[in-house]
Amino acid sequence: RVLSQHRFGATIVYAALAGEEQGLFGGKILAAKAQQEGWRIEAVLNNDMIGNTTGITGISDNTTARVFAEGTRMDETEEEARQRRFTGGEVDSPTRNLARYVDRMADTYVPNLDVMMIYRLDRFGRGGHH
């Protein structure tokens, strides 16, 4: 409803996917459709476990959202790795820049929501959070 009041320079696709816990079935079908139709995808935001604010400890936390952002690509070549290290490292990847943008928007528009950045492991097993 909120976004329908605005015009954007690109198409925004919302997808409710099924079978993700059984093998990412819905995601694979959508990815195959996007590839077959030649979609030019700028970003993917996956909202998983929406509304699940109670953890296994029984503690409820509706003031924190985790944003997972992967590091270097699995298929990064040695030359690309050299350039990445020379120009600023893995924290400047497009994925991590998008995650920082989500954090900034939450700070601006949802002041009681703390976005916790979770940096996924890269291909060398390094990782961490901010």
Q: What is the pLDDT of residue 120?
A: 58
List, for residues 79-110, the tens digit of each pLDDT value. Answer: 888 887 787 666 667 788 888 999 999 999 99
Could you state, in order of their start, the residue ranges of all structural domains in the chain? 1-42, 47-130
> Which among 87, 86, 94, 84 is positioned nearest to 124, based on CA atoms?
84
pLDDT band at 46 (very low <50, low <70, confident <90, very high): confident
Place of tokens 């909202």: 47
Distance separating the N- and C-terminal Cα atoms of the chain:
32
Whether the pLDDT of residue 111 is over 70: the answer is: yes
pLDDT band at 36 (very low <50, low <70, confident <90, very high): very high
Task: Check: pTM over 0.75? Answer yes or no.
Answer: no
